[in-house]
Amino acid sequence: METRDPNLSVVEMRVRFFETDLMGIVHHAAYLTYFEAARVEWLRRRGVTYADWARRGIHLPVVEANTRYRAPARFDDVLAIETRLTEVRSHSVRFEYRTLRGALVIAEGSTRLACVSQGAQGAEDHKLVRIPTDVKDVLSRGELPTAG
């Protein structure tokens, strides 16, 4: 798979049984959880564990999400989620996604994430903040070479 674009990572996942609905297809809300898991992997491949940011009180909540469903996915399908960073602003970033089964496009989408810091009062205490410089640096890095 061609991933020369430094902003692109391709993450595979397999559809789980509980993600289907009575139509026999993947429920449309499940795709947002696929995009989320793909973003976490996107960061990991650039050396970042999102869980560490969360422990530092830096969160990237989704403030906008858009999805177009092109074809149904089914239980046990192996899906490839192409995940691309497409915009970095002072307080938010945007990712775009394509979900494929083989060559078939299953879904396309985008999310905007705001940068929020969580204070001592927990969820009561969210504040929109500038994306820290070290976070920005990670975002512009391509995938790190994997050992092996």
Q: Can you give the binding site for its own copies, defined by CB under 8 A?
A: 16-18, 20-25, 27-30, 32-33, 36-37, 40, 49-51, 54, 59, 61-69, 72, 74-76, 118, 120, 122-124, 126
Nearer of residues 72 and 132 to its own copies, judged by Cβ: 72
Amino acid at the residue 37: A
| Residues 137, 88 contacting (CB under 8 angstroms) | no
CB of 24: closest distance to its own copies in angstroms? 3
Residue 95 · residue 83 · CB < 8 Å? yes
Q: Nearest distance from residue 96's CB to its own copies, in Å?
A: 14
Active-site residues, by number, are: 21
| Number of CB atoms found within 10 A of residue 32's CB | 15
